[in-house]
């Protein structure tokens, strides 16, 4: 792909960084070097990165690998976490969660504290449908450290479930994919409505392809929408163009591309964001 030319400083809050080498996805080789190259082509100057799913495994090794591969690259490492609770909701899940206890591979409060005070990590990432939900002790520790949590939200974990389990906490929560993965407009609208009720809730634009929902969120909540590419599954060029072609003011685009992400994730900020 050709390099995009635009006048914005762009930072990305949603990219997955491979931790094995070599890594191949759908016949295409992926490496940290290639991801960095694609970010450069799109004009993305810094990106939040986290490991892919590891169902039934501890994320310690994967998180450390992401941190190691972020060194001397424009990557900001987030630690991926997991938990023993069922995210599906309903009476059965509530009953199961009542007696749920952490296994050896689940994130513990001490892990959160260690990640938070390790200068290699700047926040956390969770996919409740794959990783489960943390218990109250872990959520309490997340509140104590106050770093942002990126949440894979959609049909498996809709905005309503996030409101019941996470959004009443005092740390910033970023609902990825406008809360509507995969491409569920109704859930995206629900997530936009959720912003009215929770000051520490944000939406990222990864895998959002509907102009109506993008423009509505940016116009109604210009300070709560963060650019996310979804790389490497989506090329950052595509994600940047989704925002560049919106019918919104230039200042709103600047907020989405840089000011909003930099306010939520301090490590993404530059002097020009002050």
What's the farthest any 2 CA atoms get from each other in the chain? 54
The pLDDT of residue 29 is 53
- The residue whose two tokens read 């939520």 is 264
| Number of other CB atoms surrounding residue 150 within 10 Å | 28
pTM attached to this predicted model: 0.94
Segments of the chain with pLDDT less than 70? 1-2, 21-29, 91, 271-274
- Residue 99 CB partners (closer than 8 Å, separation 6+): none
Percent above pLDDT 90 for the chain? 85
pLDDT score of 118: 95
Query: pLDDT of 89-138, one tens digit each?
Result: 776 777 777 778 999 999 999 999 999 999 999 999 999 999 999 999 99
Domains and CATH numbers, the chain: 10-273 (3.20.20.140)
Tokens 């859930």, residue located: 187
């Amino acid at each position: 792909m050709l390099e995009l030319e635009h006048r914005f400083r762009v930072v990305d809050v949603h990219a997955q960084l491979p931790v094995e080498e070599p890594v191949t996805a759908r016949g295409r080789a992926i490496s940290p070097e290639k991801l960095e190259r694609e970010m450069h082509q799109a004009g993305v100057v810094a990106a939040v990165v986290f490991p892919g799913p590891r169902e039934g495994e501890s994320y310690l090794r994967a998180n450390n690998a992401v941190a190691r591969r972020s060194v001397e690259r424009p990557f900001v490492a987030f630690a991926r976490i997991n938990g023993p609770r069922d995210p599906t909701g309903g009476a059965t899940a509530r009953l199961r969660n009542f007696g749920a206890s952490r296994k050896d591979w689940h994130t513990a409060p001490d892990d959160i504290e260690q990640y938070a005070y390790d200068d290699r990590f700047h926040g956390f990432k969770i996919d409740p449908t794959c990783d489960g939900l943390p218990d109250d002790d872990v959520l309490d520790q997340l509140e104590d450290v106050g770093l942002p949590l990126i949440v894979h939200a959609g049909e498996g974990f809709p905005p309503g479930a996030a409101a019941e389990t996470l959004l009443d906490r005092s740390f910033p929560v970023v609902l990825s994919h406008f809360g509507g993965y995969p491409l569920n407009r109704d859930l995206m609208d629900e997530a936009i409505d959720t912003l009215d009720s929770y000051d520490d809730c944000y939406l990222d634009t990864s895998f959002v392809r509907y102009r109506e929902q993008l423009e509505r969120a940016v116009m109604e909540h210009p300070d709560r929408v963060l650019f996310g590419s979804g790389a490497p599954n989506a090329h950052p060029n595509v994600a940047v163009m989704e925002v560049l072609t919106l019918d919104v003011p230039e200042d709103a685009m600047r907020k989405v591309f840089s000011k909003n992400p930099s306010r939520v994730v301090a490590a993404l900020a530059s002097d020009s964001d002050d």
